[in-house]
Amino acid sequence: MVRSALGHKTAQIGRGPRLGADYVPAATVVLGSLIAVLPIVSARGWWPDAGLLMLIGWRLLRADAWPAWWAAPLGFANDLITGTPIGLSVAVWSAVMIAMDVLDRRTMWRDYWIEWAIACVIVGLAEFAQWRIAAIMGASVPLSMSAGPSILVSVLCFPIAAYIAARLDRWRLGR
């Protein structure tokens, strides 16, 4: 039997979840939304939707990162911070949580590439919804010009969000 107290430095004694570990995932989603507060004036709007990427990153990593209904208030905060029409992120993010619950029931296993593909589909649909709402509000930009590059950039940024989520998950649980 190995005694923890006499073991080497990686022993698990005295280590556990950090204070407020339950709130770290949601806080990083809000931080992702807050990237929009940076004083950068973008002419094209091709920046990734960082809040949504963090949401997907956490949800793909864990089903219990937060209670599913938290997606609504998180989306509301995202709407207020980024200036998208109020209700768009609330609806889209809640729909993402429901879709992921359904997906969890249907899939037997997942690997890195499947998760990336899921993120691609979700980001694409979210951008399409945003583009459609903008068109209804009087800004009918061609899809290839605004949503296309934006989807590509977001999809390429997803591994970064997934990496941040995975590292923070280990940190918050003290592993």
13 vs 173, beta carbon nearer other proteins: 173
The answer to whether residues 37 and 138 touch, using CB atoms and an 8 Å cutoff, is no
The answer to whether residues 4 and 12 touch, using CB atoms and an 8 Å cutoff, is yes
CA 92, 162, 106 angle in degrees (round to 5)?
60
Member of 48, 55, 158, 161 binding other proteins (CB under 8 A): 48
| Under rule CB under 8 A, residue 136 binds other proteins | yes
| Under rule CB under 8 A, residue 35 binds other proteins | yes
CB of 95 to other proteins, least distance (A): 6
Residues 69-128 that bind other proteins (CB under 8 A): 69, 71-72, 75, 80-95, 97-98, 101, 104-105, 107-111
- Rounded Cα distance between 8 and 18, Å, is 21
Member of 150, 161, 162, 172 binding other proteins (CB under 8 A): 150
- Rounded Cα distance between 69 and 52, Å, is 15
Going 100 to 103 to 109 to 115, the CA torsion angle's sign is: negative
Name the site residues for other proteins (rule: CB under 8 A): 34-50, 61-64, 67-69, 71-72, 75, 80-95, 97-98, 101, 104-105, 107-111, 130-131, 133-141, 145-147, 150, 154
